[in-house]
Amino acid sequence: FLGSARFPEFKDPDTRTKCAEILRSYDIDALVVIGGDGSYIGAKLLAEEHGFPCVGLPGTIDNDVAGTDYTIGYQTALQTAVDAIDRLRDTCSSHHRISIVEIMGRHCGDLTISAAIAGGCEYIVASKAEFDRETLIQQIERSLAKKSHAIVAITELITDVRQLAKDIEGRLLRETRATVLGHIQRGGSPCAFDRILASRMGVYAVDLLLRGKTSDCVGIQNDRLVHHDMNDAIKNMSRGVKSDWIELSKRLF
């Protein structure tokens, strides 16, 4: 395990050349790169420019990597978010409060949708396209006629959740709090699912390298391990919101 962090200098061809030389000087003959789109792009360049074998594993809490149903870390972050929602539910119900919960995910709403369904959130805003401030306030107002509290799950980068909380409180005259889960979702002890997934993918990645694959990435689809050319994964990296899950949440809540 080499350990790594964001390294913007890797965009420079001379830096990549130096990195390849350092790897070979330590008798490292292949890399298993765990990460998202940036990591895949770096691994692809290292393989193509310097013939250095690389296999990518999808590792991000956002679950936004193409070619796989789940990424390493997603299920752990999901459980963290659900635990937080469960705790907020206690204080919201006892104080008749509205709570806005901002969940990570960047431009992918998987984490928000899954956490909201598992946590029983009354409203989900998973993408900018579906966010309408006025409609949301009206929906919350109608629900308060039947329930004493409400929890709204919203993906990061859509709006300023603290301002949204102020707007809702000003309109509905009901105490409204914003909670930004933030980087607490990116740490902690991995759940069993992620530990098993990472183990399966890691062994599969080594097998691919032993078979001579030098620029592939690993995924899991319908509980089967698969591999794709890294170029294909990078081209299709953007993933939309799961419309069927959104429909499920509407029927549930």
Active site residue: 14, 37, 62, 194, which one?
62
Q: Is 62 a catalytic residue?
A: yes
- A 10 A CB-CB count for 12 gives 10
Measured CA to CA, the distance from residue 86 to residue 191 in angstroms comes to: 18
Which residues, 6 or more positions from 131, have their beta carbon under 8 angstroms from its beta carbon? 125, 154, 158, 159
In 3D, which of 66, 94, 95, 63 has the Cα closest to residue 76? Answer: 63
Q: From its phi and psi, is residue 160 left (phi > 0), alpha (psi between -120 and 50) or beta? A: beta
> What residue type is assigned to position 139 of the chain?
Q
Measured CA to CA, the distance from residue 91 to residue 88 in angstroms comes to: 5
- φ, ψ of residue 40 to 5 degrees: the values are -65, -40
What tokens were used for 122? 């009354």
* Matching residue, tokens 């070619």: 67
What tokens were used for 176? 């409204």
Catalytic residues: 62
